[in-house]
Structure 1
Amino acid sequence: MKVNTTTNSRGVLNAVLLTGASALTLFAATGAHAQDVAQTPAEQEAAAAAPDGEAITITGSRIKSPSLTSPSPLQVVTEQDIQNTGSIDLLEVLKQNPAIGVPGASRTTNTFGTSPGRSTVNLRNLGPSRTLVLIDGRRTVAGDPGSSVVDLAMIPTAFVERVDVLTGGASAVYGSDAIAGVVNFIYKKSFEGLNLNAQAGISERGDDDQYSVNATFGQNFAGDRGNLLLHVGWQREGLVRNTSREWAAFDYVSLGTSQRVGTPSNANLTAAQNLFKPLYAPSSVGPGGVFSIAGTGNRIINPDGSVRAYNATTDGFNRAADGAIASPVERLTFAMRSNFDVTDNINVFVEGTYNKVDTKGYLEASPLRTDGSLGAFPASGNANGYFNIESRVFRPDGTSVILRNPFVSDAVYNLANDRTGDGLKDISFLIRTTMFEPGIRLVTTQRENFRLAFGGEVDLGGGWSADAYYSYGSTRAETRMDGLANLYNVANALMAVPDINDVNRNGSTTDAICADANARAAGCVPINVFGLNADGSSKISQEAINYVKASYQANALQEMHVASANITGTLFQLPGGPVQLAAGVEYREESSRDTFDPLTNQARNGYTQATDTIGSFNVKEAYGEVVVPLLSNTPFFHNLTVRGAARISDYSTVGTFWAYNGGVEWSPVPDIRLRGVYAHAVRAPNIGELFAAPQAGIIGITDPCQGVTLASTGNTAVNCRADPGVLANIQANGAFTLTVPDLQGVGSLTATNPNIRQETATTWTLGAVINPVSIDALRGLTLTVDYFNIELEDAISRIAQATVLNKCYVQGVSEFCQFVTRRSAANGAFSAGSVEQVVRALVNSGGTKTEGLDFTASYAMNALGGRANLSVAWTHLLANGITPLAGDPYDNTMGELGNPKDSANASLSWDSNSWGFTLSAEYIGAQYLDYENFQTRYVLADGSLPDKKYFRIDSVIYTDAQIRFKVMDEMQFYIGVKNMFDVDRPPLYSGVSGNANGTYDPIGRRFYAGARLRF
């Protein structure tokens, strides 16, 4: 749309807005000004996308100008960049940027649970909820109901023109959540013609098959006053099973973690040396189960009914074989956009997208247990999990007799005793429900995302324009997990007795029936869980399976309404240039609803407990932003500009607060631009953090008491031995000894906090841009260096289970011990003293800090008959850490797994009229296992710690390549390879801390090929 500068409305607007604008000149935000100064590739790309002379905005600012610069670091990923990677998953493209940390969720980090296959971006490793994701500068609905986090799987890759990545606080411009920065997806706007794209790929091992087909059509209409853009796309990313990679195929734990002892000893040196070696540690919970009989746990019932102790070599169950490295994802996308010039000064638009994503998650067959909050017979104390194997049965004449369960063998019956005090023998057990269809816990999820936005822009003349829009977004998610059990029915089915009264009327008085008459009337079928048949098959009948099997089912809906109006223009002229202003108001309303099946509501499916949740909030906001060019075209001051922005937000939940920022840009000469921004950014709690009901589940832990002996010294040992169950375990085994189920079958209870407050951050960025525009041969060169510092206070976070356990046992803070429940005695597969449950509360924690340097370099030039482009990005951390709770010591996480001190990406592309290539490399620096909570537990006899090298994970480099050929002007073919040298994932096994699959490539070398047609 053309900017009209001939009207006289400027004076009226100046009078109305000058007062408010003058107050804002003290603050600063990213903005647009300073023609003919050093520009980054992102700024150049944004300017190139606009018609000559047209005023546009750049990510990080609402001000419109034809000359654009940003005082905050801003990087761009163009459509060509995306195509040159061969990735059909946007997250896979973005996470190569060293400023982007471990994904909050991805195909390879979220392969099980109840929402597999999501893709979320995580700037500066501060968490995905602190990265604001925008579409064309506008908010979009969350992809995970209850949160504020956008699922990148909902964004049509081929519809994206470019992606702007702004690092640094931007809450003053965009509102809540922009603490680490903003990722802004710019969609295609105007296009004429037809684009067809098709791609297929597969890993070297024959899995991770990927397919993508999409079409984009554009047409002008009404004498080129309008444009209609239509897009349809389909993508599929295939399953990668654990069994396809040796490191994931078995239930491996770190050998070193199992060798560690809890007292100062030189044996801990050997343990440290073996941290990256695997030890096969299968679960003791298999299809045949383990039983606790007369208080003695881990007993196996043989096919003939005899009883023996569990033997890991012959009885162990390999849980890993049923899992997945990467979840399958299938996406169907429809998108449209139309804009129309009603007059030369008025433009209207409408755009919409619909995405349907189908994913699957894979988890080993469910443990069916009798103890604990998710057991068939939950209770406390000695009665926990024990059920009667004999019952009192009444005859028709009124007399009664005590009869044993007909499925119980003589050996089991003779060993059993009365643990509950009701005069009847009882036992407990834990089995694996591999006999339930489909033999594992299979999670199927369908998410549908709909987004509609419409609005318009008016050229008011005199350099002023106004725009307004309304947008609506919704995300629906339906999730089902099969392979679970109805614990009500399990409890009924276990209470079996012989049919001495022939209630079945079949002439037999020895058949097993359910003891409870009401249960029988409801279809109860007795279940035989007491061991396996000689051929290894289950003794549980299909009729009993049909009676007890169940599914987890959840339905969620999140909706967002946004209405916004903005005005921008020039207030007046200064010697340095025009003083520009943007101001606006915004209203946003979000609501979320989660509903679950009745068994999940009541914690009776053996997997989790979740309560239906409904929550909503609204927020009213107003902001102002100003750019003041103080000097220009004077010696040593080719440009000196200050900027300011402030936003007030009034939330229906947490009240009113301000966000603001301030900064400066100084170009002593056209080739060099120095920049700096200070920002006060804010994140309000989302719906899930405020309203979600408590939820029970199963987690894995690292127990600080593991390895403690009677001779161990120090506070940890004393605190651990104070627990009767831990002490009994030590007395029986010589040291506190735990099994895989003990560590990976721990109950978790999460709770929200209606009194949670907003979190705040102060962010600093200081840097320089060098773009030698005065030297023709170097105009294509851009160098940037930026210092960043983000300090987050009152961070909204859930207390990690490791923090709870360390507070109680390592630091001796007794208040945290109430959140830990340990078993007083062995029970089924669980050892005496093992952790039964950890309660994890949501709090405003102490805070987080990250500090470092970003370096980028890019150079474009004509070479060898084509166009060459070289780009490099490098992030170097100076500090990174957290304060888990207020008053806690600072936990330095810099250089630890997931937070490499150095990471970088480099890319070289060359294209001619007939062919081209791209060669790229991603570097992840050396990392270490957690120091405070891991390394310090390997104490040697002299009190020292093993050399840090034993905890080191070597650096890796992943190399990708693509070659493309033009068959004709309208057709291009391309082939490529990812992880060209098949660099293995580092040998990180269970027991060590950190997210390996989110940090490294777990799939290996893979190939792809495709074609693009342009008409």
Structure 2
Amino acid sequence: MTRSILVAISALASLPAIAQEQVPEEKMIRVEVTGSSIKRLVSETSQPLSVFKAEEFVKQGLTTAQEVLERIPANQSGMGAGNVVGGNLSGLPTGGQAVADLRGLGGDKTLVLLNGRRIANHPYDGASVDLNVIPVAALERVEVLRDGASAIYGTDAIGGVINFITRRSVIGTTLTAETLRPRKDGGTERRANIVMGQGSLDRDGWNLMGVLDWQRQDVLTSQQREFSKTGVIPERGLSVADGTSGTTFPGNYFDPVSEATGNPGFATGCLPPLSIPRVSNGTCRQDYTRQIDNLPKQDRVVFFGKAAAKLDAVTTASLEYLHSRNDVTSRTAPPPQTGLELPKSSPYYPGNAGGVPAQPGLSGEPLSVNWRPIEAGQRQIFSKGEGDRFVAALEGIAAGWDYKTGLNHSISKSAENLTGGYVQDSGFAAGVRHGILNPFGLQNAAGRAYLASVALRGKVQDAKNTSTTLDAKASRELMQLAGGAMAMAVGAEWRKEDADFNVNRDIAGQAASSGLSGSQSKSGSRNVKALYGELSLPLVKDLDVQAAVRYDHYSDAGSTTNPKLGVRYQPHQRLLLRGSASTGFRAPTLFEKNAPQSRNDTSNSYDDPILCPGGVPQPGANPLRDCDLQQFKLQGGNPALTPEKSKTFAAGVVFEAMRNTTIALDYWNIKLKDKIGALPEQTIYGNYAKYKDRFLRFPDGSPNAILDLNENLGRVKTDGVDLSATLSTGRTAYGSFTLTLDGTWVHSYEYQNERDGAYTQNVATYGDNGPILRWRHNAALTWRGGSWSATLSQNYKTGYTDQNLVEAQYFNEVDSYQLWNVSATYTGWKGLTLTGGVKNLFDKDPPFTNQGTLFQKGYDARYADPIGRALYLRAAYSF
């Protein structure tokens, strides 16, 4: 990391020497920027605001909102397409959702806006926007406010605000086609879009524009990359017992009378490479990593349309419509079936006529069998996510006030269909009990026919979030103060939220491996009312104080008032000092309060603390059920949740070291209490004495699940520094050069798993669910000359201490990770723009990690790109 920073600083110092001619300064106009409702010059803002122009990220081959936000160092999100394989931390399908997460506080504390207004949150957690709905092809820029803005936009803007801003108008037509071709098989992307517009808002008084964008990503399987082919890596401490499953093919058995354990296929090596022998107990283990996808197949279509018309010289009316659809097909290993009863009467009981070899130590009583029927195929879920958003808005000037008002109706939907691999639990178990299915080998014709008859297909769940908002705000200058014009803004908002979560009991109740077998349909609704005001006070020359306050009333969570104070002081034309302080309040979402309880697999494997303490089976235990196996957790909503509250402080300095060289340093500090979430499963299993009441059991004493509903946990404290640097040479005899560096350094990130509990330090170390990266930066060197431009960029992340659920001698430090990308653009032919480039120029593999939280093994799909080196080409023709 140090070397990379030194290289960047060295470049910052050396580039001005080649400057020959400066670009003329553009006249600045007053505009409304993210983080304020008062129109002002961008240079006047007292808040840390980053602006990313669409033309720049298009040249770098960034085609989705998730990819764009990956270049923002303050974004710690690891929730993207790869997480759909195996679901999220709750074990439920994600619907292919991609999430923004500023400061690592959770996607529920980053407010995502489109043209300054809200989008309905994704229905499966109800707490964050699915970035797949963003119309990237229609964007003009992305503005990222890196401190809290609860007083301006809403109480949930604790971590910051990301505002995606579309083009104001379009004239003409642009057709674009692009492709990304990895050097190795899998993960190919194709994209096409059309942007059309007619009428000039300034000249004709009206404009119509429309954008239609289609994108497809092919599946990337674990077997198409060496680093993800297997969960068994002995040289790294991942032995046969780690990263594998005890529910396998051929099946493992346990005799509850003689307590004999084994597998008839053990003597012949099980079924490599899918299942491999475990010498210590004569069983087989399933290397399920071999039958999952790194990235799912994904098809995305987005339409964005806007009509705007000037009603008079100062009044503009507009209509916006957004429709998105995201289809995702995710695949995991065949369905695990546990606790199957195999009686002595079955021809497949070891030693009977079915050809299964006899096994020593059997009592003749029914065996308990764990079996994964590979002939059923991989479990496959087809997720269809849809979003619709309609906005009718009016803006203008009345009685000296700049005003905006609008009606925003937004819907987010998702539905999951089981399309392969899943089986009806009861029918499947009956097939084993009645001697039709062979749990120790491939099926005969009758077995194959029966297996097909118990295949489970159909919609398992669907959900919908609806948000309807009426807003109005106005701003104006009031009077002259010593430092300039005093300005104010006032606004009001009314919002109604509805959430529906529907479980198809006919399907979900028949498949425990769906994670929804015990779920019930739920719904909820609430109203939110808000009033807010903002003042800009230039008290003396070069000193501006900004104050804002917001009052919100939630029909289900009470009222809250949140102020914000900002100060901007410019003692010298090349030096700016700024700071802000604010409070925040996030009410529990309808999903967090009302989500149906679901009995899902744990992320990691555990020993039951009573029946198999320390991995040693006790009398009456079933080691195939109680030892070194994914257990179950009961998760869901909690009506007793109380709101999260926060305090945010930020202070920064911006200085122009020399002409066209700007460096900004901003310190941020956030304190959050009563964080909403489920207690990490590792914490529960790690302290049985403390959490024994959470271990639910069936009447016979066998494990049912750990109780792990949403609750108010403890506090979170985090602070760090953002660095932004820009250097431009202006025009020279060799073209113009611009170097940018954006980085975030996290000093501390501490959290409590319960109120008044011990703090866990999460920076540069894998906590309960993942790491907080110490340093991230994105650096880019751009050259422009005539019809050509080119960019060399670097995306860098520091390493961290691994999860390390392995023997001490194999403890791992995850390496730092950097990707270099290069691109070039040519605009020399009229109307035609050609772009080509290489992502991951040096074909860098993801660093090894022994994490066990995700289904993917050998790397972490949340923090690394499994694609490898890839060539991308883009052609755009405008007429």
Short-chain TM bin: 0.7 to 0.9
Q: 1:476 aligned to 2:413?
A: yes
Alignment correspondent of 2:253: 291
Alignment correspondent of 2:58: 83
Residue type of the partner of 1:748?
K
Decide whether aligned partners of structure 1 residues 981 and 410 sit closer, same or farther in structure 2, where only a CA change above 3 A counts: closer
Alignment correspondent of 2:664: 784
Match of 2:211 among 226, 231, 241: 231
Find the residue that maps to 1:489 and give its secondary structure: helix
Find the residue that maps to 1:997 and give its secondary structure: coil
Separation of aligned partners in 2, 1:960 and 1:842: 41
Q: Where does 1:548-563 land on structure 2 (aligned, <5 Å)?
A: 549-551=456-458, 553-563=460-470
Following superposition, the deviation at residue 763 of structure 1 comes to: 0.8
Q: Where does 1:58-69 land on structure 2 (aligned, <5 Å)?
A: 58-66=33-41, 68-69=43-44
Decide whether aligned partners of structure 1 residues 957 and 258 sit closer, same or farther in structure 2, where only a CA change above 3 A counts: closer
Following superposition, the deviation at residue 686 of structure 1 comes to: 0.8
Residue type of the partner of 2:713?
S
Q: 1:452 aligned to 2:390?
A: yes
Separation of aligned partners in 1, 2:245 and 2:42: 63
Q: What's the TM-score, normalizing by structure 2?
A: 0.87
Decide whether aligned partners of structure 1 residues 563 and 434 sit closer, same or farther in structure 2, where only a CA change above 3 A counts: same
Separation of aligned partners in 1, 2:28 and 2:615: 80
Separation of aligned partners in 1, 2:261 and 2:539: 78
Find the residue that maps to 1:82 and give its secondary structure: helix
Residue type of the partner of 2:675?
A
Following superposition, the deviation at residue 565 of structure 1 comes to: 0.9
Q: 1:755 aligned to 2:640?
A: yes
Alignment correspondent of 1:150: 129
Tell me the number of residue pairs that the alignment of Structure 1 and Structure 2 aligns. 826
Residue type of the partner of 1:653?
D
Separation of aligned partners in 2, 1:627 and 1:193: 40
Following superposition, the deviation at residue 490 of structure 1 comes to: 3.2
Deviations 1:782-832 (A, max 9, x none): 210010111111111111101112232xxx42xx1122358999xxxxxxx
Separation of aligned partners in 2, 1:800 and 1:669: 50
Decide whether aligned partners of structure 1 residues 255 and 179 sit closer, same or farther in structure 2, where only a CA change above 3 A counts: farther
Alignment correspondent of 2:680: 800
Decide whether aligned partners of structure 1 residues 863 and 389 sit closer, same or farther in structure 2, where only a CA change above 3 A counts: same
Asked if structure 2 preserves the Cα contact closer than 8 Å seen for 1:281 and 1:740, the reply is no
Separation of aligned partners in 2, 1:668 and 1:562: 42
Deviations 1:56-101 (A, max 9, x none): 2110011123555322211111112211211212211221221111
Following superposition, the deviation at residue 110 of structure 1 comes to: 3.0
Q: 1:326 aligned to 2:295?
A: yes
Structure 1: gaps spanning 5 or more residues: 1-47, 260-277, 371-384, 391-403, 497-525, 633-638, 707-719, 773-777, 826-832, 939-945
Find the residue that maps to 1:998 and give its secondary structure: coil
Alignment correspondent of 1:336: 305
Asked if structure 2 preserves the Cα contact closer than 8 Å seen for 1:144 and 1:150, the reply is no
Following superposition, the deviation at residue 255 of structure 1 comes to: 5.4
Separation of aligned partners in 1, 2:398 and 2:204: 22
Alignment correspondent of 1:725: 612
Q: 1:617 aligned to 2:617?
A: no
Find the residue that maps to 1:673 and give its secondary structure: strand
Q: Where does 1:35-184 land on structure 2 (aligned, <5 Å)?
A: 55-66=30-41, 68-103=43-78, 105-113=79-87, 114-184=93-163
Following superposition, the deviation at residue 581 of structure 1 comes to: 0.8
Separation of aligned partners in 2, 1:310 and 1:162: 52
Decide whether aligned partners of structure 1 residues 630 and 77 sit closer, same or farther in structure 2, where only a CA change above 3 A counts: same
Asked if structure 1 preserves the Cα contact closer than 8 Å seen for 2:98 and 2:130, the reply is yes
Alignment correspondent of 1:688: 591
Deviations 1:426-446 (A, max 9, x none): 33212112222xx10011111
Structure 2: gaps spanning 5 or more residues: 1-22, 88-92
Alignment correspondent of 1:358: 327
Deviations 1:477-523 (A, max 9, x none): 12112322222333544453xxxxxxxxxxxxxxxxxxxxxxxxxxx
Decide whether aligned partners of structure 1 residues 160 and 742 sit closer, same or farther in structure 2, where only a CA change above 3 A counts: farther
Separation of aligned partners in 2, 1:303 and 1:961: 51
Asked if structure 2 preserves the Cα contact closer than 8 Å seen for 1:322 and 1:364, the reply is yes
Asked if structure 2 preserves the Cα contact closer than 8 Å seen for 1:580 and 1:627, the reply is yes
Decide whether aligned partners of structure 1 residues 304 and 642 sit closer, same or farther in structure 2, where only a CA change above 3 A counts: closer
Decide whether aligned partners of structure 1 residues 350 and 416 sit closer, same or farther in structure 2, where only a CA change above 3 A counts: farther
Asked if structure 2 preserves the Cα contact closer than 8 Å seen for 1:748 and 1:837, the reply is yes
Following superposition, the deviation at residue 780 of structure 1 comes to: 2.4
Alignment correspondent of 2:705: 837
Find the residue that maps to 2:96 and give its secondary structure: coil
Q: 1:432 aligned to 2:412?
A: no
Deviations 1:722-743 (A, max 9, x none): x3532782689xxx99899954
Q: Where does 1:134-533 land on structure 2 (aligned, <5 Å)?
A: 134-220=113-199, 224-252=204-232, 282-295=244-257, 296=259, 298-301=261-264, 311-312=277-278, 315-370=284-339, 387=341, 389=343, 404-405=345-346, 408=349, 411=352, 425-436=365-376, 439-462=377-400, 464-481=401-418, 482-496=420-434, 527-533=436-442
Find the residue that maps to 2:601 and give its secondary structure: strand
Separation of aligned partners in 2, 1:310 and 1:58: 59
Q: What's the TM-score, normalizing by structure 1?
A: 0.76
Separation of aligned partners in 1, 2:277 and 2:42: 73
Residue type of the partner of 2:694?
F
Separation of aligned partners in 2, 1:915 and 1:548: 57
Decide whether aligned partners of structure 1 residues 304 and 210 sit closer, same or farther in structure 2, where only a CA change above 3 A counts: closer
Alignment correspondent of 2:17: none
Residue type of the partner of 1:250?
T
Residue type of the partner of 2:129?
V
Q: Where does 1:583-602 land on structure 2 (aligned, <5 Å)?
A: 583-599=490-506, 602=509
Deviates further, 676-685 or 743-752:
743-752
Following superposition, the deviation at residue 212 of structure 1 comes to: 1.1
Q: 1:675 aligned to 2:578?
A: yes
Decide whether aligned partners of structure 1 residues 428 and 474 sit closer, same or farther in structure 2, where only a CA change above 3 A counts: same
Q: 1:981 aligned to 2:842?
A: yes
Deviations 1:11-38 (A, max 9, x none): xxxxxxxxxxxxxxxxxxxxxxxxxxxx
Asked if structure 1 preserves the Cα contact closer than 8 Å seen for 2:765 and 2:802, the reply is yes
Match of 1:920 among 776, 781, 793: 793
Residue identity over aligned pairs, in percent, reads: 23
Alignment correspondent of 2:736: 867
Alignment correspondent of 1:662: 565
Separation of aligned partners in 1, 2:455 and 2:763: 49
Separation of aligned partners in 2, 1:443 and 1:839: 26
Deviates further, 792-801 or 83-92:
83-92
Decide whether aligned partners of structure 1 residues 953 and 892 sit closer, same or farther in structure 2, where only a CA change above 3 A counts: same
Deviations 1:747-770 (A, max 9, x none): 121132101011011111100112
Decide whether aligned partners of structure 1 residues 444 and 652 sit closer, same or farther in structure 2, where only a CA change above 3 A counts: same
Decide whether aligned partners of structure 1 residues 446 and 83 sit closer, same or farther in structure 2, where only a CA change above 3 A counts: same
Following superposition, the deviation at residue 957 of structure 1 comes to: 2.1
Separation of aligned partners in 2, 1:312 and 1:418: 20
Separation of aligned partners in 2, 1:452 and 1:824: 53
Find the residue that maps to 2:421 and give its secondary structure: strand
Deviations 1:254-298 (A, max 9, x none): 656568xxxxxxxxxxxxxxxxxx988654433332222344364
Alignment correspondent of 1:699: 602
Separation of aligned partners in 2, 1:852 and 1:544: 56
Match of 1:817 among 682, 687, 692: 692
Higher gyration radius (CA): 1
Alignment correspondent of 1:1001: 865
Alignment correspondent of 1:846: 714
Decide whether aligned partners of structure 1 residues 434 and 771 sit closer, same or farther in structure 2, where only a CA change above 3 A counts: same
Match of 1:971 among 832, 835, 848: 832
RMSD: 3.4
Separation of aligned partners in 2, 1:916 and 1:170: 37
Asked if structure 2 preserves the Cα contact closer than 8 Å seen for 1:468 and 1:564, the reply is yes
Separation of aligned partners in 1, 2:207 and 2:382: 39
